[in-house]
Amino acid sequence: MKAVRVFRGLMAFLTAIPFKMDESFLDIAARFMFLFPIIGAVIGVLVGFYAIFTTEVLFVLFGAINTLLFSGAHEAFFVFVAKGLASIMTVAFLLLVIGLQHTDGLVDVGNALGIRRGSLKEKMDIAHVWTVTRTGAFLAIIVSFFTLVLIFIANIDCILPAFIVAEVSAKLAMVTTAWQGTSPPQSLEDKRGKGRSFIEFMNKNYGLYTVSLVISLVISVPLFGIMGVVSVVAGILVGAFMIVLGKKVFGGVNGDIFGATNEIARMFALLVLVI
């Protein structure tokens, strides 16, 4: 029963799927953060199967339209439209499954990056206002756009394993930021930060990080071989970069950095696997 409770707690934290959990799911997610890659694989399976189903249905639908109305003369055009629409629907489904908390973190980081000469306190404040700045919108749009393009150009035969490995890599990137990152000063967070507990459990814990890394490789290598390893490494590098960025922007790693790390790492993992 404990394993089920841990799984539900992690799913409740990392997805928007409604699980009946009390507030303890935050503590569970923090204590068992090293298992994030497993939840990433689950998310990848859900999104990957949806992408395949949507693509196949739209291929049949638009193929029928082309045959009935144009005698099959515009096959390339209708394939393009079907794949494009399926890619958009897949990104929308991905946002539906994981919720907008990670995208919100990406926007908040972009908001803070827009203040180049402001203090850490000013950057922290602008990141949490109910306004999207040009920098915040640009960062969210550019990451979402490239993710969409990578889904579009991916071969349908590899889209499922690609999503699984990409989500595993993204979750390992988050674990990496907690493992080597430090929390912002409490005076800057104004007790708003939820990322502090994750860092307290994971920081410098080499044993738990090794478990998380092994899980990531066990899932990724059978699916993509050496490129699975490269994808995992990409997640680690993104996590390391976000630690540095978080220190510069917020004085440390907070919830916004975790969310932005997830979105950026997924994009780079897909880049490795698709290109």
Per-residue pLDDT of the chain (275 residues; tens, 9 = 90+): 588 889 999 998 999 888 776 667 788 999 999 999 999 999 999 999 999 999 999 999 999 999 999 888 889 999 999 999 999 999 999 999 998 778 888 888 888 877 665 556 555 555 565 566 788 888 999 999 999 999 999 999 999 999 999 999 999 999 999 999 998 886 555 544 567 889 999 999 999 999 999 999 999 999 999 999 999 999 999 999 999 999 988 889 998 999 999 999 999 999 999 88
CA separation for the pair 167, 176 (Å, rounded): 14
Q: How far is CA 92 from the centre of its chain?
A: 13
Report pLDDT for 253: 93
Report pLDDT for 102: 82
- Nearest one of 102, 96, 117 to 177, comparing CA atoms: 102
Report pLDDT for 108: 84
Report pLDDT for 17: 86
DSSP 195: S
CA separation for the pair 86, 71 (Å, rounded): 23
| End-to-end CA gap in the chain | 42
Q: Are the CB atoms for 189 and 124 separated by under 8 Å?
A: yes
- Nearest one of 216, 162, 245, 163 to 34, comparing CA atoms: 216
What b/e string do you get for 71-94 counting C-beta neighbours within 10 Å, with b at 16 or more? Answer: eeeeeeebeeebbebbbebbbeeb
Helices (H) and strands (E) in the chain, counts: 13, 0
